[in-house]
Amino acid sequence: MSGYTNRKLFYLLLILLSNTVVVAQTVPYQTIMNRINTDLRGDGNSRSADEQVLKSITALKPDGSWADINYTNPDYNPLQRIKTIAIAFSGADHQLYGDPVAYEAIVKSLKHWIDVNPKNRNWWYNDIFYPKTIGEILILMRYGKKPLPAALESSLIALMVRKLKTGDYANTSDEALHYLYRACLTSSKSTLDSASKYLFEPVSIIDGREGVQIDNSYFQHGKQQAIGSYGAVFAGNSVNAAFYLRGTAYAMPQDQLSILITYIKDTFFKTIRGSFFDFNVRGRGISRKDSLKGNFTGLITKIKVLSPENEVYWQVAAERMAQQVSPSTGVIPGNRQYWKSGYTLHTRPGYTFSVQTASSRTLRTERGNNENILGKFLADGATNIQVNGDEYANVMPVWEWDKIPGVTSRNYSGDEGATIRQDWGVQGTTAFAGGVSNGLYGLAVYAQNYDDVQAKKAWFFFDKEIVCLGAGIKSTAAEEVTTTLDQSWLKGNVALGYADVKQPETEIHKTQSVQAKTNSMQKTTLLGAETGQKSSALKWVWHNHIGYFLPENGDLSVSNQTQKGSWYRINQFQPKDEVSGGIFQLSFLHGSKPAAGHYAYIVVPGLEDVNMMNTYKLSMIKIWSNTEDLQVVEHRGLDILQLVFYKEGALNTAGLSVKADKACTILIQGLHTENPIIDIADPGQVSAAVHLELQLPGLKGLKKLDCILPDGAQRGATVTSRLSL
């Protein structure tokens, strides 16, 4: 009897043990860690990396510290250096593979880190960067010839433990990534369960929350557009998570993978021209050196595995970012109005043009951690114009921040006027901001009322041209008000085209040796070196393959002078060294205390030769109205009419009438056909419907149209109607 009982206990124990083994085998710690290890090593040049590693090892002090690092408030450097040494020590393709001196340097420097246990004033380093990089170092060392001492590894793993901030979207995914590292290092199923849950939590669309929005833009820190800032972090972490966990029981669900792929493909990558971001999507990161660099070839390698059906798209995007092909290669024409975030993106093979606005529904571009100190006007209709892509790369230290491209603002004497006084976002001040789009063409609008400047600003997007209108410009402030057409790095000559009449010029020189002169016989000239010039007779300006046509002339200032500044001026985590360079700047001058200022200019990117300016056919474009109540542009070549009604009103011309009973934006394609397509939206996001009465050239009689506008999360989106005879 006792033998039977013993056998029964033996078989029961065997079953329990076998179940434990099965569970251990089905939790894919090693598979995930293998993928992370391979990813951390990348495809870098091991020889040049080893040379830098040797310098770091040589500079290491006996106590495991580096003399050039301030450990009282460190940022990236100490752990990054240790990580690069760990890559060399544990990588078979490195000359330092298994090197005992490298091993000692790793152990010493990690022990010093534990002893000092440094803290940064910025929580992000303490809760995200430090534990994440420690986890990467520990994973790399698991693949080395000699493991770290067990006690040292355990102490470092203990430093990785942080309370995870749920519901913080990009930051949550950042933290969940080092949870994933720790789960693999400790073979902890509960930690792996938490890591996968919170890595995937941000991959969702829930109206009213941060993260990906219903219009495919991205919010972080409240209702603030963050497509290329926190949206980049979200994209990188989410792709990493999906790649590491693919094919396991923890794989990203297909519906969430679809959200991620759509965001990256249809929004995120489209904000990168060649290998440079649109500055409008970088948030406060615009104040960091090299922040406009947008090379995501490593991410693309992974996303090809996750989304093989888009293989051609990913490959061409990678080649553009690596500058292996021109910025125009594979770019599909498009126009997208992001009604949730006030951002408009217009792309053509030859250029990218975007507009950023803020409304009372969103936050202005934030200042935080003493970054983006002077970005007060970034959300007032800033326009990013890229042909080559690098037009604004690292120009920010020398910018005049009250003259951001596209913005109408007061002309302050110094930086004080552009300084943001409140951290983490300031509420927008106007309800009427948005636009209308049919996916290929569209318009953006901004009824500005900020910093004692009011203006009705609109941008009309076509294939080759962007028509920019402003009206109702008012201010009671003492400073002169300006509208800046552009402020970018000076690249080559600045050419000026003048109206037919002779006009005296006012020139302001920093160097008197060269002067630009004009008279009634000479209608085109080059701006002299280091020259600032004011004129009311300019009909066009050309610089760096971009033409700026001035159909209403107006008082303008154009310059190509050297400007100076520093990164520290805009970001107190950046160097104080002086930065200088030649800057092309072009602005309308509306004077002090304008009561009814206005402007009109037409941007034509991609004009390779200045001689094209005098022969360019602007007759295709007709500006029917530019008032503070109604702005209308027709493109006769495309048979498109675009209208902004700031209130109930009507456009009445020969053979053409459009009447709206409420404020709205309208795009009519096929204006002269029998079947015009009407796209309409309410930028104010208040109307349930708009009643239109139309008499169009291709239709018989008066047509009445009741346009029911979307509600809820879709409020502000474009709706489409088709008219017929």
What is the pLDDT, as a whole number, of residue 255? Answer: 98
Mention every residue, 6+ apart, whose C-beta is less than 8 A from residue 620.
635, 636, 637, 638
What is the pLDDT, as a whole number, of residue 8? Answer: 52
Are 421 and 373 in contact by the 8 Å Cβ rule? The answer is no
Which domain-ending residue is among 621, 648, 677? 621
Whether residues 573 and 697 fall in one domain: no
The structure tokens listed for 239 are 């792709």
Residue that has been written with the tokens 């406009």 in this structure: 292
Read off the CATH number of the domain in which 712 is found: 2.60.220.10
Q: What is the C-alpha to C-alpha distance for residues 509 and 506, in angstroms, rounded to an integer?
A: 10
* Paired residues of 66 in beta bridges: 60
Residue that has been written with the tokens 């506008």 in this structure: 709
Are 404 and 450 in contact by the 8 Å Cβ rule? The answer is no
Whether residues 628 and 617 fall in one domain: no
Residue 317 lies in a domain: no
What is the pLDDT, as a whole number, of residue 145? Answer: 96
The structure tokens listed for 551 are 């159909």
The structure tokens listed for 649 are 């009103």
Which domain-ending residue is among 602, 621, 640? 621
Mention every residue, 6+ apart, whose C-beta is less than 8 A from residue 103.
89, 144, 146
Mention every residue, 6+ apart, whose C-beta is less than 8 A from residue 16.
none
- Per the structure, how many domains does the chain have? 2
Sign of CA dihedral 52, 53, 57, 63: positive
Beginning with the edge strand found earlier in the chain, give each strand of the sheet holding 719-722 in spatial order: 621-626, 630-635, 640-645, 664-669, 677-681, 719-722
Q: Which candidate, 375, 398, 394, places its Cα nearest to that of 566? A: 398
What is the pLDDT, as a whole number, of residue 310? Answer: 98
Active site (annotated) includes residue 221: yes
Whether residues 362 and 505 fall in one domain: yes
Whether residues 557 and 694 fall in one domain: no
Whether residues 581 and 592 fall in one domain: yes
Residue 544 lies in a domain: yes
The structure tokens listed for 626 are 């530019």
What digits encode the pLDDT tens for the residues 648-660?
Answer: 999 999 889 999 9
Read off the CATH number of the domain in which 428 is found: 2.70.98.10
Residue of 178, 221, 336, 715 marked active site: 221
Residue 129 lies in a domain: no
Active site (annotated) includes residue 635: no
Sort residue 394 into left (φ over 0), alpha (ψ -120 to 50) or beta.
left
* Paired residues of 461 in beta bridges: 442, 466
Domain housing 508: 338-621
Sign of CA dihedral 500, 501, 502, 505: negative
What is the pLDDT, as a whole number, of residue 13? Answer: 43
**Helix 230-245 with 29-41: angle, nearest 10 deg:** 130
Torsion of CA 111, 114, 120, 122, to 10 degrees: 110
Whether residues 609 and 659 fall in one domain: no
Residue 575 lies in a domain: yes
Whether residues 609 and 642 fall in one domain: no
Neighbours of 286 (CB within 10 A): 25
What is the pLDDT, as a whole number, of residue 7? Answer: 52
Residue of 284, 320, 367, 569 marked active site: 284
Q: Give the residue ranges of the chain where pLDDT is below 50.
A: 1-2, 4, 9-24, 501-522
**Which secondary-structure segment (H or E) carries 240?**
helix 230-245
Residue 330 lies in a domain: no
Whether residues 627 and 616 fall in one domain: no
**Which secondary-structure segment (H or E) carries 493?**
none
Whether residues 605 and 668 fall in one domain: no
Q: For the chain, give me the number of helices (H) and strands (E)?
A: 15, 34
Whether residues 603 and 688 fall in one domain: no
Mention every residue, 6+ apart, whose C-beta is less than 8 A from residue 258.
none
Residue of 103, 169, 230, 498 marked active site: 230
Is-above-0.85 flag for pTM?
Answer: yes
Residue 470 lies in a domain: yes
At 552, the amino acid letter reads: E
The structure tokens listed for 438 are 């049919």
Residue 302 lies in a domain: no
What is the pLDDT, as a whole number, of residue 654? Answer: 85
Q: What is the C-alpha to C-alpha distance for residues 143 and 655, in angstroms, rounded to an integer?
A: 77
Mention every residue, 6+ apart, whose C-beta is less than 8 A from residue 453.
408, 409, 410, 473, 474, 475, 477, 481
What is the pLDDT, as a whole number, of residue 505? Answer: 45
**Which secondary-structure segment (H or E) carries 51?**
helix 46-59
Which domain-ending residue is among 590, 621, 652? 621
Whether residues 648 and 711 fall in one domain: yes
Q: What is the C-alpha to C-alpha distance for residues 223 and 425, in angstroms, rounded to an integer?
A: 9
What is the pLDDT, as a whole number, of residue 509? Answer: 36
Active site (annotated) includes residue 284: yes
> How many CA atoms are closer than 13 Å to the CA of 520, on its beta-carbon side?
2
Name the percent of the chain in helix, strand, coil, to the closest 5.
30, 30, 40
Q: Which candidate, 712, 718, 719, places its Cα nearest to that of 205? A: 712
Mention every residue, 6+ apart, whose C-beta is less than 8 A from residue 414.
none
Whether residues 540 and 498 fall in one domain: yes
At 103, the amino acid letter reads: Y
Residue 590 phi/psi, 5° resolution? -95, 0
Residue 202 lies in a domain: no
